[in-house]
Amino acid sequence: MIKLVIYVSMICFGSWGLLSSVFPEISREILLGMIFPWSMFLLSVLITQIMHLKFSFNITKYLGIAMITKMILYGIIIVAIFSFMSFNPIPFIISFTGYYLMLHLTEAYIVRSFINNKQL
């Protein structure tokens, strides 16, 4: 599983570097749109693995609580960014949406492998 997390992290930062070299004027927006979903992904995968290893019978309840918590945290982060920072919101929204979808699908794949008791 750790290899997959490392590969996903390399893809995130590699794509940010590539996009920043092509669009240097919006590199900060792309970074902010990548860093929040990526950090939530890392935290969520780590906690999910710990919960699965220690309390595997209760993983469904945990996943529901984790999803609600992530949505609340994403809402707080987005409101804070739009309230306290001045930047172009369109590249941020596009970047955030793209990274969020990619990382959420990867997390779903990891959780499915936990449930099927496979090692990544």
Distance CA 107, CA 6 (A): 13
* pLDDT at 118 (0 to 100): 59
Per-domain boundaries in the chain: 2-115
pLDDT digits (tens, 9 = 90+) for 35-64: 999 999 999 888 888 888 887 667 778 888
pLDDT tens for 56-105 read 667 778 888 888 999 999 999 889 888 888 888 899 999 999 999 999 99
pTM above 0.95, yes or no: no
Say how many CA atoms lie within 13 Å of 107 toward its Cβ: 23
